[in-house]
């Protein structure tokens, strides 16, 4: 007899800062993008900033996870945090500017809701990244201590008829309950209860959801649900895939690898790519996007110190079948990032005898500057991965290469929490 699973997305009774009308000093980026100096700045900005919970500190010899739980209990006792009276979904609109000198202003709208924390095998929540044990062990220890979803995962909902997007936008025609700003992103928050919350949750439950960001947090929630069956849902931020405000940035590769013979590399690349040159200019990314769009093929730009940069456009007759390292499924093998990572980046890294370093950035200007200042010997710039490619890889049960996507802006932590006990 088939088991009927509970609805994938449901409203929940959230917990918010009591001074919620202007919570800018209380919120933070996700824990995994906060540097130590940034953590110190956020902690100093307010004694109740969420960073004290998501990246807890404790004196030497003491348990920092227990410290977070004690602090959370104190905030609740002192009225710093207050639970809403009834289940709701929490709609958030983020107004932000895309990177670059001519960046446009966009608004991305989504909602915080409670999503079933269940194994990927059910097919209802689908990943596209491989995870690592250390971050999951850290987050599980914090979850066990706090017994609260302190941060959300970020999910994409297929929305072919645009009904979810329309429902979310309808909410934003009303005055928000809170306004905030973080890292030049302006945010408005609405609390939606009763039948409107139920309808939005149903619209988000019509198809599988895809993890955009937060794979480690989701898998941690699943592990905790095995231990604590009543904690079988995870705080999630859900965005319609039809939202024109949804932005995926490429993650560029910045390489320090002295002693590479670029002429020899170019000779090897010509087997796969048409190689061109472009003078350094203000709109090199525009040139890269144009190359990819015009050819319909994978394209990348290799920034070099002095002189011209290289443009690489995949040849129609490139023998990709001879390169098993590209990936096991057609969905992955078709990705720009898989092709460029295998045939360009790894070629640079392995071409010499010196030990190379590889870093990543979504900021193209920072990548160019690293090369110009001599902090990098080259930078490989890519076009962004498309949302439909993320879906295709997840549907195939495969994973993308590391650092394939960067969904901007990040979802803030601290606007709403979800107690699990």
In this structure, the answer to whether residues 142 and 183 fall within a common structural domain is: yes
Within-domain flag for 104: yes
* CATH code at position 240: 3.90.1530.10
Query: In the chain, how many domains are there?
Result: 2
pLDDT > 70? residue 378: yes
Query: Residue 97: its pLDDT value, please?
Result: 95
DSSP string across 328-387: SSHHHHT-HHHHHIIIIIHHHHHSSSSPPEEEEES-HHHHHHHHHTTS-SEEEEEPPPPH
Within-domain flag for 396: no
Query: Residue 1: its pLDDT value, please?
Result: 46
Angle CA 207–209–210, to nearest 5:
135
Query: Residue 3: its pLDDT value, please?
Result: 66
| Mean per-residue pLDDT, 221-240 | 97
Within-domain flag for 63: yes
In this structure, the answer to whether residues 141 and 258 fall within a common structural domain is: no
Query: Residue 102: its pLDDT value, please?
Result: 66
pLDDT > 70? residue 282: no
In this structure, the answer to whether residues 255 and 131 fall within a common structural domain is: no
pLDDT tens readout for residues 152-191: 999 999 999 999 999 999 999 999 999 999 999 999 999 9
Q: What's the mean per-residue pLDDT of the chain?
A: 94
* CATH code at position 282: 3.30.1760
Query: Residue 21: its pLDDT value, please?
Result: 66
The rounded percent of the chain whose pLDDT value lies above 90 is 84
In this structure, the answer to whether residues 57 and 171 fall within a common structural domain is: yes
By C-alpha distance, which of 380, 400, 99 is closest to 253? 380
| Mean per-residue pLDDT, 42-67 | 96
Query: Residue 281: its pLDDT value, please?
Result: 64
In this structure, the answer to whether residues 97 and 172 fall within a common structural domain is: yes
In this structure, the answer to whether residues 216 and 295 fall within a common structural domain is: no
- Strand (E) or helix (H) holding 163: helix 163-171
Query: Residue 331: its pLDDT value, please?
Result: 96
In this structure, the answer to whether residues 45 and 113 fall within a common structural domain is: yes
State which of 17-21, 280-284, 311-315 shows the largest mean pLDDT.
311-315
In this structure, the answer to whether residues 239 and 303 fall within a common structural domain is: no
Within-domain flag for 4: no
pLDDT > 60? residue 265: yes
Query: Residue 2: its pLDDT value, please?
Result: 54
Q: Please state the pTM of the whole predicted model.
A: 0.94
Within-domain flag for 389: no
Non-local (6+) Cβ contacts of 387 within 8 A are 156, 241, 246, 248
Structural domain of residue 265, as residue ranges? 251-383
Q: With the CA atoms of 111, 112, 118 and 122 taken in that order, what torsion angle do they form, in degrees rounded to the nearest 10?
A: 0
Within-domain flag for 133: yes
In this structure, the answer to whether residues 415 and 285 fall within a common structural domain is: no
């Amino acid at each position: 007899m088939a088991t009927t699973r509970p609805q994938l997305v449901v409203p929940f009774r959230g917990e918010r800062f009591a001074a919620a009308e202007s919570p800018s000093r209380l919120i933070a980026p996700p824990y995994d993008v906060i540097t130590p100096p940034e953590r110190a700045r956020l902690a100093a900005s307010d004694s109740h900033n969420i960073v004290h919970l998501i990246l807890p500190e404790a004196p030497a010899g003491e348990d920092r996870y227990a410290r977070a739980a004690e602090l959370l209990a104190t905030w609740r006792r002192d009225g710093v945090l207050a639970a809403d009276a009834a289940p709701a979904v929490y709609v958030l609109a983020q107004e932000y500017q895309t990177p670059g000198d001519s960046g446009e202003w966009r608004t991305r709208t989504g909602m915080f809701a409670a999503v079933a924390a269940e194994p990927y095998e059910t097919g209802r929540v689908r990943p596209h990244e491989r995870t690592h044990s250390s971050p999951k062990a850290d987050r599980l220890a914090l979850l066990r201590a706090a017994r609260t979803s302190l941060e959300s995962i970020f999910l994409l909902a297929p929305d072919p008829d645009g009904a979810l997007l329309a429902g979310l936008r309808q909410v934003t025609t009303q005055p928000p309950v809170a306004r905030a700003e973080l890292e030049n992103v302006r945010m408005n928050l609405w609390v939606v209860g009763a039948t409107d919350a139920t309808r939005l949750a149903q619209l988000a439950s019509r198809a599988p959801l895809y993890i955009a960001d937060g794979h480690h947090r989701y898998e941690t929630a699943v592990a905790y649900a095995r231990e604590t069956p009543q904690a079988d849902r995870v705080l999630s931020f859900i965005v319609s895939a039809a939202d024109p405000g949804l932005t995926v940035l490429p993650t560029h590769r910045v390489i320090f690898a002295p002693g590479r013979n670029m002429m020899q590399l170019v000779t090897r690349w010509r087997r796969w790519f048409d190689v061109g040159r472009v003078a350094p200019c203000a709109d090199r990314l525009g040139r890269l996007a144009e190359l990819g769009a015009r050819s319909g093929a994978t394209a990348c730009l290799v920034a070099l110190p002095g002189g011209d940069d290289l443009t690489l456009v995949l040849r129609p007759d490139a023998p990709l079948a001879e390169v098993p390292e590209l990936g096991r499924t057609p969905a992955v093998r078709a990705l720009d990032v898989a092709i460029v990572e295998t045939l360009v980046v790894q070629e640079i890294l392995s071409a010499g005898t010196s030990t190379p370093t590889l870093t990543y950035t979504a900021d193209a200007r920072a990548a160019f500057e690293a090369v110009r200042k001599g902090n990098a010997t080259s930078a490989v710039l890519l076009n962004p991965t498309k949302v439909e490619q993320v879906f295709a890889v997840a549907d195939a049960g495969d994973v993308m290469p590391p650092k394939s996507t960067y969904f901007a802006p990040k979802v803030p932590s601290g606007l709403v929490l979800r107690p699990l006990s």
